[in-house]
Homo-oligomer: A and B are copies of this chain.
Amino acid sequence: MIALVNEAISQLVERLRAGDSRALGRAVSIVESSTGTGAAVQLLEACFPLAGHSVKIGITGAPGAGKSTLVDRLARQYRDAGKTVGVVAVDPSSPFSGGAILGDRIRFQGFAQDAGFYARSMATRGALGGLAKATADVATVIAASGKDLLFIETVGVGQDEVDIMRLADITLVVLTPGMGDDVQGLKAGILEIADIFVVNKSDREGADRLEAELRELMSLTNHPTEVEWKPEVVKTVAATGVGVAELLQASVKFQKWLSCDQRLEVRRAKQWEYRLMEMLRAELLREIRDSGLRESELKMLASQIAARAVNPYRLIPEFLAGMRSGASGTNV
């Protein structure tokens, strides 16, 4: 754990705000590795007011869909247009945690020495209080450095990933033809968060069919949050760059739409309703663990409950009462 006094934190925030990539990297490490500690909370509190400028673009899709290549291409185009860019990449299925950093060095080598670019892969193992919370925190810190665009890239499986996409102002859902990765796979909450569908690897067989299926789906479905916006479908071949300019155009078009009639503000407010409850839950879970319910005790209790030797309906109120009275080491 990294201990920092108040003054050191405000200096760190000043430096990352001024564009110092090393300070930014250090701040990200603090919030990522010391979730819930005083230093992390102070840092996030200081970063939050600075974090409103970035347009957050979420990118989700199955492993192998080409999300990374798309993000690299889009980031390159934005950099060439003079915009600063940040990236948070989350791969919960990756067996490597430390390894992710090496992966970044290889992946983003085209941006070496570029002070207007910063990328971070999430070391997700053991993220206390949930992957979505950790990603949100890292995004807040990178956004506080003033990046114009912030890409949030994650694998689109499970509730955690849907939650992560709730951070984004714009969400791109990446599909590919022929991977069994058809519209049926979109059931679990992804459909309602997609603003733009990307049919990547569109030089493969089945791209036209997939595009047609998506368009048909769009015509059948009311986008639940904004009925006026029908998600566009854009075909790309990220490996060669085909369609990336069109994707960027679609993204800019959506940004324009979002900037009218308070739509961005309404969207962010809706997201915060959800995120605030999630932050409370994550913090409470952390407190539960801190207040004595360690892994080994949890296992022992679970066995006793399974054997009906402990009654969970009696245990829970007792445990919470103990937590509230602040009795440390409450032996539940």
Chain A contacts to B: CB under 8 angstroms: 41, 44-45, 48-49, 51-52, 157-159, 180-182, 184-185, 187-189, 265, 268-273, 275-277, 279-281, 283-285, 287-288, 293, 298-299, 301-303, 305-308, 311-317, 319-320, 324, 326
Contact = CB atoms under 8 A, between A and B. Distances in A.
Given A159-B158, A276-B301, A298-B276, A48 B285 contact: no
A95 to B, nearest CB: 15
A31 to B, nearest CB: 10
A319 B280 contact: yes
Contact of A158 (B188, B268, B270): B188
A277 B332 CA distance: 13
A137 to B, nearest CB: 9
Given A184-B180, A272-B302, A280 B316 contact: yes
Contacts of A52: 308
B273 A302 contact: yes
Contacts of A316: 276, 279-280, 283
A154 B112 CA distance: 51
B285 A45 contact: no
Nearest to A40: B313
B279 A312 contact: yes
Nearest to A180: B184
